Structure 1
Amino acid sequence: MSMKLYGASGSCALVALWAVEQAGADYELVSLNLGAGDQRHPAFLALNPHGRVPALETDGAVITELNAILVYLAARFPGAGILPMNDVLLLGRTMELLCWFSSTVHVHVAQCFRGERFTDDADVKDKLKQSGKVRLAAALAELNETIGQRGAYLNGDGFSAVDIFSIVVWRWVQRLEIDCSAFGRWTGKVQHDMARPDVVRALEREANAAPPSWVAAARAS
């Protein structure tokens, strides 16, 4: 059965996109423009009331939250290498890192880009952005120290979803113009990983994704 993946250029939905590509799944990619507010359109809120990407339509249901989508895809396509499903300890440690990216690093980024999630006060938003960048830099220092400690990749000798999430973080950091000179190991790893054919393919797929039907109709009118 075909899947439909809702994502947005520059978002963490790239991780789910890489996963469905790795799985060789039959899927359709729909790209929302978060800056234009596509995620707040009633048609999308009917799928995900939280108005966030990624969201995956599959088997007559909708799965939201990146880590939940990754677990579903890894279980459905166990040979795709999305997560290390054949090593329970490695799987647990990989999920540990994914959760840290989601619950800590991504929150600092949201302070910078999505201050409306936390407050409606413009002054508070500005302070959130400032503190978010400081906390993000501290998290990057921690991430930089882990490079090489667990193998060739972030967790072991196999490339997996957590390494793609690291690339997503890199893109956010570039947009925030954070100085990465102190994070040389992480920077080198990301640059190496971004040259992988599977990563290049996912990035190209993201860049060429079509907008949702309700946006396409509005642009045509």
Structure 2
Amino acid sequence: MIKLYGFPVSNYYNIAKAALLEAGVEFEDVRTVPSQKDDYLAISPMGKVPAMEVDGAVLTETSVMVDYVAEHLGGSLYPADPVARAQVRELMRYVDLYIDLAARPCFGEALFGGTVAEAIKEKSKADLERGVAALKRRARFEPYMAGSEPSYADFVAYFSIPLANAVATRFFDWNFMADWPELAAMMAKLGERESVATIEASRQG
């Protein structure tokens, strides 16, 4: 049986979990936090979550896990058309690189009570402004990001963008999600899916 290592606070764990749930695959949910201990480094060499164990082999990057599920376990949420499929992957990268990664240096203070230097916050703000503007130009929201059908890009956005918005709201007085009705509509529709409801229930537990 597949094992998925991670914990509900992690957006990347939730993305991988959603891919498995959408595929209707049975898996063991192994609650794990990031760790530099030898026993976990033997599973995930960077000590990060999520990690996915498949037939004794381990996958350690979320995009790799999503691709494995789509290609080998059924229920793919990638379009069949190769250009459309590439565009979904592009949207996933936009969220990862230009929104999540832009906000992530501030997570320590915004989410976990640490302290972040003002220079880092200023850079995050500038990067996040560019990233949000770029995604608004690129995503279609018809009503989903890549068109009329849901794709993995929507799940990446659903679990990642609210964390970035929490940073923007706290430090920059900028609730960019409040000014983005197309995103709100997409997230509301995605929230109706059984996979998302299951994950949301586990996050509340």
Quickly say closer, same or farther: Cα 1:207–1:62, change in 2 above 3 A.
farther
Q: Which residue in the other structure is 2:107 paired with?
A: 113
Q: Does 1:63 align with 2:83?
A: no
User: Larger RCO: Structure 1 or Structure 2 (Cα < 8 Å, ≥ 6 residues apart)?
Assistant: 1
Q: Match of 2:179, SS?
A: coil
Quickly say closer, same or farther: Cα 1:77–1:32, change in 2 above 3 A.
same
1:133 deviates by 3.0
Task: Count matched residues.
Answer: 193
Distance (Å, rounded) in 2 between the aligned partners of 1:206 and 1:76: 27
Structure 1 range deviating more: 69-78 or 97-106: 97-106
- Aligned positions of 1:149-168 closer than 5 A: 149=140, 151-168=142-159
Return 5+ residue gaps in structure 2 as ranges. 110-114
Return 5+ residue gaps in structure 1 as ranges. 116-121, 209-221
* Amino acid paired to 1:139: G
Match of 1:128 among 106, 120, 125: 120
TM-score of the two chains, using structure 2 as the length reference? 0.81
Q: Which residue in the other structure is 2:182 paired with?
A: 185
The superposition leaves residues 107-151 of structure 1 with CA deviations (integer Å, 9 ceiling, x where unpaired) of 212221259xxxxxx77x44223321332133123323444x363
CA RMSD of aligned residues (A): 2.4
Q: Identity over the aligned pairs, expressed in percent?
A: 23
- Aligned positions of 1:1-221 closer than 5 A: 2-11=1-10, 12-33=12-33, 38-78=34-74, 80-84=75-79, 86-113=80-107, 125-147=117-139, 149=140, 151-176=142-167, 177=169, 178-180=174-176, 181-208=178-205
Quickly say closer, same or farther: Cα 1:195–1:133, change in 2 above 3 A.
farther
Q: Match of 1:40, SS?
A: coil
Distance (Å, rounded) in 2 between the aligned partners of 1:73 and 1:193: 19
